[in-house]
Amino acid sequence: MSRISRNFIIAYVVLVGLPVLGLIQVLKSGRGLAAPLSVDGTWKLQTDASPLSKSPCGNPATSFQNPLLQISQSGKALVLTLSNGAKMTTPGAIEGTKIRAAFPPSATGSNQTGCGNEGALVLTATVDPKSDPRSLVGMLSVDNCSACATVEFRGERQTAQDVKGAH
Amino acid sequence: MPSLFTLVLQIAVIMALCRVVGSLFRWIRQPRVVGEMFAGIMLGPSLLGWVGPQFSAYLFPPSSLGFLSALSQVGVVIFMFLVGLGINPKELKKQGHAAVLTSHVSITAPFVLASFLSLYLYPKLSDDSVAFTSFALFMGAAMSITAFPVLARILTERDMLRSRLGTVAIACAAVDDVTGWCILAYIVLLIRAAHTQTPIWLTIGGLIAFALIMIYGVRRMLQHFETIYFQRGALSENLMALMLLLVLSSALCTEWLGLHLLFGAFLMGAIMPKEQKFVRYVLDRFETVTVTLLLPLFFAFTGLRTNVGLVKGREMWMYCGLIILVATVGKLGGSMVASWLTGMPLREAAGLGTLMNTRGLMELVILNIGLDIKVISPALFSMMVIMALFTTFMTTPVLELICPKRILGDEAAATPQVVLDRSQRSARSGLNGAVVELDS
């Protein structure tokens, strides 16, 4: 074996072989990492909006009978779009199994007085990580409004086939 | 269904903006493709959707995006065919040990660094539907890619194709791209296999059989295109249509086998005859429509999916900065160190590293696949697009700083030269004249 070939092999082992071994080690150690629960996708919610509609601040939510909830996820950061004809979009977050987002009054169309702190419509939900397809339970409430009733809902994540069928 | 009016309006606006911004970027001595990428971002939620949401909603209603996506995908399929066409395996074999080592290090260095970064980013920017292995491998592949056509274009403009630096850069970029696409194929297979009932061994077996048929069967048939071209001096419209049909069929096969359209198109280009005049002829026939019409649609579609607003707050911008840093250190640093260790002067080695750090359009293609198969999140997609823009944008000024034309001129003067036209220059450098006119 010539000196050049030997040097090449040594350089190759050091500069390519060793990093590849490092990569394998990283892939092994990374398997133990936990990422936030996946909630990305379209969720079909089942809800009864009537209690909220009777509340002083509930008008914006009356149109949301069994709405679709679209969630775009980037780690813990979410963008939620609640739609049933009209659409409301807001950022949110997931911590563990809990989702929380607040639709500002400008999004809900509510600017009535007496609706608490700016009358934001707050969505909180708990995801069941073991269910397949993934499901959640939660409630819609009006921020800082003691007179306003909450609306409970259940949701199930739509599969790709469900979403295609819906369109 | 969107009206034809909407679609034609979209195409007109996209083309006009891409031409204008591309020309502005040419004016500041940047490749046109960088300007067109930037124009695409401008049309998306990062600028137009933010400044004029109503106009944006009118111009790009969600129901119309499927048509725009389909058209842009056709453009990328043809583009990948052209990229494959530009890669000549025989020329790569001529490169010495130094080039082999440099190209492999320029893949492994950013790949390994990206996997380390993934340890940090995975819990923050991904979710549990994506396995860490897929995430880390994708990040590695995305960071180790080089924009072969943009790099070739920059070298042509700077009259560097014949230089040692240019030759090694082209060889390394070609090796990087082929390797990057192989790794990406593996990741796509892994992820798609998890969502289908077809056993993965069947998919892999099918793909190996397809590749063997293409390389040892179809490739021989393709020689007839070259033979007819040299007999008649041109290919008839029917033959060009047949060639396009073969590209589309190959793309459909890889998609049907569970991979992706683009791999089939790339493979078809790679196994086409490589005689330089023939390659230049085919490029000339395809690239005008592809580069001026279809690729801008792809840039716009990518821009519509890129929301810089998702990179919100100091923490997210820090992740974005880290991605740019790791991508640059891995690619630029890795290529530079490897080429320097193999005997290239430091200045040239730094120039090579800078060239290899060009990601351009190839990065966008890979990122769109990643977003489609949901291995990366929308925020991470946006950060990676910013990284692609940044690393491509920095190439020309940094190269001018490290390897000014004055110095290159001195180097060139030391070796005998003849004045060559573009196709000759390309051919001598092993490019077969296959510089896709991304930024002419």
Amino acid B391: pLDDT: 93
> Is the pTM here over 0.95, yes or no?
no
DSSP state for residue B418 in the 8-state scheme: -
Instruction: Using alpha carbons only, give the angle B81, B85, B91 rounded to the nearest 5 degrees.
Output: 150
Residues 21-40 of A with CB under 8 A from B: 22-23, 26-27, 29-31, 33-40
Q: Are B157 and A65 in contact (CB under 8 A)?
A: no
**Confidence check: pLDDT of B174 > 90:** no
Between B238 and B1, name the one with better pLDDT: B238
Does the distance separating the beta carbons of A22 and B112 come in below 8 Å? yes
Q: Is A16 on the interface with B (CB under 8 A)?
A: yes
Average pLDDT over residues B128-154: 87
Sign (positive or negative) of CA dihedral B358, B362, B365, B366: negative
How far is residue B319's CA from residue B328's CA, in Å, rounded to a whole number? Answer: 14
In this prediction, residue B416 carries a pLDDT of: 40
Q: How far apart are CA B136 and CA B158, in angstroms?
A: 36
In terms of CA atoms, which chain A residue is nearest residue B330?
A: A19
Nearest CA in chain B to A6: B97
**Chain A hits for B97, Cβ within 8 Å:** 4-5, 8
Tokens describing residue B158: 């700077």
CA–CA dist A156, A138 (Å, integer): 12
What pLDDT, on the 0 to 100 scale, is given for residue A63?
A: 53
Residue B343 has a pLDDT of: 82
Question: Is the pLDDT confidence value at B198 over 90?
Answer: no
Mutation for A interface: B116, B125, B183, most A CBs within 10 A: B125
| B199-250 pLDDT tens trace | 778 888 888 999 999 999 999 999 999 999 999 999 999 999 999 999 999 9
**Nearest CB neighbour to B105, from listed A4, A16, A40:** A16
**CA atoms of A27 and B276, how far apart (whole Å):** 42
Q: Cα–Cα distance between A149 and B259 in angstroms, integer?
A: 51
Across the range A137-146, mean pLDDT stands at 81
Query: How many Å apart are CA A69 and CA A127, to the nearest integer?
Result: 14
CB-CB contact of A19 with B112 (8 Å): yes
- Give the single-character DSSP code of B22: H
Cβ(B306)–Cβ(B385) below 8 Å: yes
Q: Which amino acid is at B108?
A: T
Would you place residue B273 in the very low, low, confident or very high pLDDT band (cuts 50, 70, 90)? Answer: very high
Tell me the chain A residues in contact with residue B317 when contact means C-beta distances shorter than 8 Å.
Answer: none
Amino acid at B234: A
Instruction: Work out the percent of chain B whose per-residue pLDDT is above 90.
Output: 48
Query: Which of A22, A34, A75 is closest, CB to CB, to B125?
Result: A75
B39 and B158 Cβ atoms separated by less than 8 Å: no
In degrees and rounded to multiples of 5, residue A34 shows phi and psi of -110, 130
What are B274-294's pLDDT values in tens digits?
888 999 999 999 988 888 899
Mean pLDDT of chain B: 85
Whether the CB-CB separation of A153 and A45 falls below 8 Å is answered with yes
Q: Which among A5, A16, A74 has CB closest to B377?
A: A74
Q: State the average pLDDT over residues A50-63.
A: 54
Rounded mean pLDDT, B358-363: 86
What's the pLDDT band for A161 if we cut at 50, 70, 90?
low
Say how far apart CA B1 and CA B374 lie, in whole Å: 26
Query: Which residues of chain B does A26 touch, with a Cβ-Cβ cutoff of 8 Å?
Result: 112, 115-116, 118-119, 136
Q: Locate all alpha helices (DSSP H) within B87-218, ordered by sequence.
A: 89-94, 97-125, 132-144, 148-157, 164-194, 200-213
> Closest Cα partner for B72 from B64, B98, A126, B420?
B64
Tell me what pLDDT residue A40 has: 93
Report whether A100 contacts A93 (CB < 8 A): yes
Please report where in the chains the tokens 């892939």 appear, as a residue.
A27
Quote the pLDDT of residue A34. 92
Is residue B426 predicted with pLDDT exceeding 70? no
Q: Say if residue A88's pLDDT is above 90.
A: no
More confident: B89 or B411: B89
Q: Give the pLDDT score at A145.
A: 74
